[in-house]
């Protein structure tokens, strides 16, 4: 989901990582679902790739519900 939002805005992983204040490799692992971001990092990423953190969280929760 984060990847789709990032690609729609035509941003690279490096751009989002820099804006979120994390290393590129760490961001790559967040996007792949290998690690969970801190709340601060999540908010930074959401502000960059989504219209709002609330919208991103809502999408994530809907995705979780669909997988249950």
Q: Per residue in 8-20, pLDDT tens?
A: 999 999 999 999 9
pTM of the full structure = 0.83
- Rounded distance between C-alpha atoms, residue 59 and residue 19, angstroms: 21
Average of per-residue pLDDT across 31-39: 94
Domain-wise residue ranges, the chain: 2-67
- C-alpha distance from residue 23 to each of 1, 14, 27, 59, 67 (Å): 20, 8, 6, 25, 30
Q: Which of 22-26, 35-39, 56-60 has the lowest mean pLDDT?
A: 56-60
Under CATH, to which class is 2-67 assigned?
Answer: mainly alpha
Quote the tokens at residue 61: 């929760």
Contact residues for 63 (Cβ-Cβ < 8 A; gap 6+):
1
């Amino acid at each position: 989901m984060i990847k789709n939002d990032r690609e729609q805005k035509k941003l690279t992983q490096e751009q989002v990582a820099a804006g979120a204040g994390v290393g590129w490799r760490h961001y790559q692992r967040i996007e792949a679902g290998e690690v969970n971001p801190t709340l601060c990092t999540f908010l930074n990423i959401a502000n960059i790739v989504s219209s709002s953190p609330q919208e991103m969280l809502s999408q994530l929760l809907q995705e979780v519900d669909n997988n249950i």
